[in-house]
């Protein structure tokens, strides 16, 4: 790849911004801020690629900040002109105002649980002596910032439950700071750990310290954009400064290797999992913690499959793996006899996709996906099938944490119209009982979810969930949202969304397509939507939209496409290919520049799914669908509202900035092209409730205006 020829031309006409942002509203044509163009050109594999808005990649530049302010002024001016916006915001606030809980866990003699009273920006962590005792506040992140933008990003309790290591994220950044709290006193110790990313914490059995992974400290100017390389695994001893932390493992010769360390429940071993990018394949190394040298010994070093450690019984380790089993199985490896010929299959692959497993209650608790719906089965430790755990209906189950000797575990269950309830499962009685049931001001009985299957372009059968009011008339008049993701082996399963509840009450249809690239049917389904087969994902999405239209759930002018992150890429690529099929698009924090994604923060890690622009063949393929590079002048695009956060250091906001600027430049139709840039927000995790409500109100108002929904008003 050649270096860029950066020939900047034209005045930095910041004053022009103020002239063009006067009175944008839903009732009048939108006048966009003038975005300066340059003549940046790069020659990649013999192809000249123009990048006139590259200056927007500099998030610290005054000109970029001025552009952000100008775009937000236009966007919020437009949204303020939608009469229904305040009604929608009010209804969202009412819906969000319900008590909700996280899954309880037990350490030592105490239970730990998170709770949000309703409209708190962040959930609060409590302790309880028993499941029926009064919860006591242990950590309230709402006290860490006035606006709720400091969020808990990780929790790790010592074996006896007396010490809590907790990570916090500021303004949505992936960077974490970790501290330690004495559970008995509720006071923080002096320990402070900085520059942690993509890592949890794992305690030694005696509570004397914990393992964590971090990067070297960046500069203030580059911390939100510089590529993250050379992950390192450390041990922090309680009561010592971070500068004295012990380096346990790194690979100076492998800048893309990321490490995670986890202490086994018996406290005897440290299991180090090494990944490269987002590929599920990993290597596994072991440390015998009884030996002071802490030598790192390879166990699984072929990088040929996913090996997820579950637990161990002495020298026998149990792994969930997709080795020779694309839908997953569970195997046993005796580290005293590690040769592959000695491995034992405990739970064989079956027709459903094994997505998760835990060892608790002297059982393997195994979570399967059957056509993107949860099925949970229990097996004895020798792999013998025990029973299927009855679930309340069609939906998603999750949780099942704990240790092997525990007599109970907790899990959540949710569906598109069913708020997530928490259940306690008793291994002695074999009964599941409701532990906490949320009470939401939403009548689930008024709505229904059905699962359909449609045929994609190449004949592949693809599932899709469709949720709407009961008695919906299939006459093509309904506004609808089609949501998709299709990447990184991530399964999109039924779940309740407070925001989407408001959309359903508005009369909207909500469809979720389980596109290739995801993990719904195992590794083969995932691989079919990666690299040089990424077009399959877009074809699956287009076929889903065509199915909704053909079955008269909606019509093209009434249909919106929505997705975030990799799903934002999906929205951009699909609407570029079929602008006639949609009335609106909501791409959130999307990967829009497929020729430069690998140059920022953790973007290089996505090459396992996307391929790399450094390869000539993959470059040509990426350029062929890159949302930024396939916007065509003279095209009438549907209404688009891009959303991003100024502190997004996962998918840097430059992706959205450049895409929005180019789309505003080429839009030939009258539909608005807006970008909503949340300040003090990142990729989405930890976003305060107040910001979630405001953003949802703005999205639904934008669709209300542009999908012609005035015939149905919010209640």
Instruction: Quick: pLDDT tens for 211-230.
Output: 999 999 988 888 877 889 89
278 DSSP assignment: T
Per-residue pLDDT reduced to its tens digit, 76-97:
999 999 999 999 999 999 999 9
Strand-pairing partners, residue 274, are 259, 283
Q: Which residue has the tokens 């960077």?
A: 175
- Spatial CA neighbour of 79 closest among 711, 688, 674, 562: 674
C-alpha Rg value of the chain to the nearest Å: 26
Please state the separation of Cα 8 from the chain's center in Å. Answer: 37
Cα pseudo-dihedral 292, 296, 299, 301, rounded to 10: 180
pLDDT for residue 685: 66
In this model, does residue 343 exceed pLDDT 90?
Answer: yes
**Which homologous superfamily does the CATH classification assign to the domain defined by 442-706?**
Alpha/Beta hydrolase fold, catalytic domain (3.40.50.1820)
pLDDT surpassing 90 at residue 711: no
Mean pLDDT over the full length of the chain = 92
Check whether 17 has a pLDDT greater than 80: no
Catalytic residue among 456, 468, 683, 701: 683
Asked if residues 330 and 340 have their Cβ atoms less than 8 Å apart, the reply is no
CB burial of residue 613 (10 Å; 0-12, 13-18, 19+) = buried
State whether the Cα torsion 626-627-631-635 is positive or negative.
Answer: positive
Those residues with Cβ within 8 angstroms of residue 540's Cβ, 6 or more apart along the chain or in another chain: 456, 460, 462, 484, 486, 513, 515, 516, 529
Region 108-112: mean pLDDT is: 95
Q: Can you tell me the mean pLDDT for 370-384?
A: 96
- % of the chain residues with pLDDT over 70: 94
Pick the closest to residue 405 from 427, 429, 435 (CA basis): 427
Q: CA torsion angle for 313, 319, 324, 328 (degrees, to 10)?
A: 120
Q: What is the per-residue pLDDT across 261-285, written as a single tens digit (0 to 9) for each?
A: 999 999 999 999 999 988 889 999 9
- Token pair 């409209």: residue: 119
For residue 37, what are the CA distances in angstroms to 6, 40, 44, 623? 12, 9, 20, 21
- The answer to whether 488 and 534 are in contact (CB under 8 A) is no
pLDDT band at 18 (very low <50, low <70, confident <90, very high): very low
Half-sphere CA count of 2, side-chain side, radius 13 A: 13
Query: Residue 496 burial (CB < 10 Å; 0-12/13-18/19+)?
Result: buried
Q: What mean pLDDT do residues 461-474 have?
A: 97
The confidence score (pLDDT) of residue 682 equals 60
Phi, psi angles (nearest 5°) of residue 566: -60, -30
- Rounded to whole angstroms, the Cα distance separating 252 from 201 reads 22
DSSP H or E stretch at residue 421: strand 421-426
Q: Tell how strand 110-116 and strand 105-107 pair up.
A: antiparallel
How is residue 410 written in tokens?
């907790």
Domain definitions of the chain by residue range = 442-706
Residue in the structure block whose two tokens are 């046993």 = 332
Cα–Cα separations (whole angstroms), residue 484 to 199, 415, 514: 27, 17, 7
Is 44 a residue whose pLDDT tops 60?
Answer: yes
Question: How many Å apart are CA 270 and CA 403, to the nearest integer?
Answer: 16
What 8-state DSSP symbol labels residue 588? E
Output the pLDDT for position 28: 66
The closest of 191, 197, 202, 236 to 218, measured between CA atoms, is 197
- Please check the confidence at residue 412 and state whether its pLDDT lies above 60: yes
Question: Is 497 designated active site?
Answer: no
pLDDT exceeds 70 at position 59 = yes
CB 582 within 8 A of CB 638: yes
- The size of the chain, in residues, is 715
pLDDT in tens, 135-179: 999 999 999 988 888 888 899 999 999 999 999 988 878 899 999
In 3D space, the residue among 663, 385, 355 whose CA is nearest the CA of residue 525 turns out to be 355
> CA 391, 392, 397, 400: dihedral to nearest 10 degrees?
-60
| pLDDT for 244 | 97
The pLDDT, as a whole number, for residue 425 is 97
More confident: 606 or 278: 606
| For residue 715, pLDDT beyond 50 | no
Kindly indicate the confidence band of residue 27, based on its pLDDT and cuts at 50, 70 and 90.
Answer: low
- The yes-or-no verdict on residue 11 having pLDDT over 80 is no
Q: Which two tokens stand for residue 129?
A: 């002596």
Contact 451, 527 (CB under 8 A): no
> In whole angstroms, what is the distance from residue 561 CA to residue 554 CA?
12
Q: What is the DSSP letter of 470?
A: T
Residue 4 has pLDDT above 60, yes or no: no
The better pLDDT of the pair 412, 4 is held by: 412
For residue 642, what pLDDT is reported? 98
Of residues 250, 284, 287, the one with CA closest to residue 267: 287
Contacts of 660 (CB under 8 A, 6+ apart): 71, 640, 642, 673, 674, 675
Scored b (16 or more CB within 10 A) or e, 534-548 reads bbbbbbbbbbbbbbb
Scan for tokens 């192809």, then name that residue.
Answer: 47
> pLDDT by residue (tens digit) across 287-325?
999 999 999 999 999 999 999 999 999 999 999 999 999
What is the token pair recorded at 419? 């708020």
Global pTM reads 0.89
Catalytic residue, from 158, 225, 565, 656: name it.
Answer: 565
- At 26 the pLDDT is 54
Q: Write b or e for each residue in 119-138: b if 16 or more Cβ atoms lie within 10 A of its Cβ, otherwise e.
A: ebbbbbbbbbeeeeeebeeb
Residue 565 among the catalytic residues? yes
């Amino acid at each position: 790849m050649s270096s860029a020829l950066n020939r900047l031309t034209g005045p930095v006409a910041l004053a022009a911004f103020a002239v063009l942002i006067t009175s944008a509203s839903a009732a009048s044509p939108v006048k966009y801020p003038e975005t300066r163009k340059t003549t940046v050109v790069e020659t990649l594999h013999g192809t000249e690629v123009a990048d006139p808005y590259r200056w927007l990649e500099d998030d610290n530049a005054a000109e970029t900040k001025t552009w952000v302010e100008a775009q937000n002024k236009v966007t919020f001016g437009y949204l303020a002109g939608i009469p229904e916006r305040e009604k929608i915001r009010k209804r969202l606030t009412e819906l969000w105002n319900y008590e909700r809980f996280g899954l309880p866990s037990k350490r030592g003699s105490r239970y730990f649980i998170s709770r949000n009273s309703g409209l708190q920006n962040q959930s609060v962590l409590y302790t309880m002596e028993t499941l029926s005792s009064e919860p006591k506040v242990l950590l309230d992140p709402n006290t860490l910032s006035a606006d709720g933008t400091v969020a808990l990003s990780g929790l790790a309790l010592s074996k006896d439950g007396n010490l809590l290591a907790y990570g916090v994220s500021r303004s949505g950044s992936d960077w974490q700071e970790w501290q330690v709290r004495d559970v008995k006193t509720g006071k923080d110790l002096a320990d402070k750990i900085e520059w942690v990313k993509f890592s949890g914490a794992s305690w030694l059995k005696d509570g004397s310290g914990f393992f964590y992974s971090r990067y070297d400290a960046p500069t203030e100017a580059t911390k939100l954009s510089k590529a993250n390389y050379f992950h390192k695994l450390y041990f922090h001893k309680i009561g010592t400064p971070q500068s004295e932390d012990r380096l346990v493992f790194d690979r100076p010769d492998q800048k893309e290797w990321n490490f995670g360390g986890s202490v086994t429940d018996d406290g005897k071993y440290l299991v180090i999992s090494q990944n490269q990018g987002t590929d599920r394949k990993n290597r596994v190394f072991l440390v015998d913690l009884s030996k002071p040298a802490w030598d790192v010994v390879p166990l699984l070093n072929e990088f040929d499959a996913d090996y997820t450690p579950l637990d161990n019984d002495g020298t026998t380790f149990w792994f969930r793996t997709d080795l020779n089993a694309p839908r997953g199985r569970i195997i046993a490896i005796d580290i005293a006899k590690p040769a592959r010929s000695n491995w034992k299959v405990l739970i064989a692959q079956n027709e459903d996709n094994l997505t998760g497993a835990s060892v608790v209650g002297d059982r393997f608790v195994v979570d399967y996906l059957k056509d993107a719906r949860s099925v949970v089965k229990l097996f004895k430790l020798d792999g013998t099938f025990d029973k299927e755990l009855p679930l309340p209906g069609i939906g998603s189950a999750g949780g099942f944490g704990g240790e092997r000797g525990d007599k109970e575990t907790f899990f959540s269950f949710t569906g598109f119209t069913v708020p997530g309830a928490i259940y306690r499962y008793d291994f002695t009685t074999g009964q599941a009982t409701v532990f906490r049931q949320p009470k939401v001001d939403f009548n689930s009985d008024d709505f229904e979810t059905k699962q359909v299957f449609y045929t994609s372009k190449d004949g592949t059968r693809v599932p899709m969930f469709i949720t709407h009011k009961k008695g919906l008339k299939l006459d093509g008049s309904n506004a609808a949202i089609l949501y998709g993701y299709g990447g990184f082996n991530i399964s999109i399963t039924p779940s309740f969304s407070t925001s989407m509840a408001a959309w359903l009450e508005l009369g909207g249809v909500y469809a979720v397509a389980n596109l290739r690239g995801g993990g719904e049917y195992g590794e083969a389904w995932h691989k079919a939507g990666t690299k040089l087969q990424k077009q399959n994902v877009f074809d699956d999405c287009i076929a889903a939209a065509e199915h909704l239209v053909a079955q008269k759930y909606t019509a093209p002018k009434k249909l919106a496409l929505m997705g975030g992150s990799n799903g934002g890429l999906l929205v951009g690529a699909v609407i570029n290919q079929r602008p006639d099929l949609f009335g609106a698009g909501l791409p959130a924090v999307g990967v829009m520049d497929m020729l430069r994604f690998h140059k920022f923060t953790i973007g290089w890690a996505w090459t396992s799914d996307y391929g790399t622009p450094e390869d000539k063949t993959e470059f040509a393929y990426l350029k062929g669908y890159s949302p930024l590079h396939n916007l065509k002048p003279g095209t009438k695009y549907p209404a688009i509202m891009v959303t991003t956060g100024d502190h997004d250091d996962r998918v840097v906001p430059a992706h959205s900035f450049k895409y929005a600027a180019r789309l505003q430049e080429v839009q030939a139709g009258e539909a608005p092209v807006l970008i909503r840039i949340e300040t003090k927000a990142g990729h989405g995790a930890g976003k305060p409730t107040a910001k979630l409500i405001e953003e949802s109100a703005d999205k639904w108002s934008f669709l209300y205006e542009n999908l012609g929904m005035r015939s149905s008003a919010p209640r």
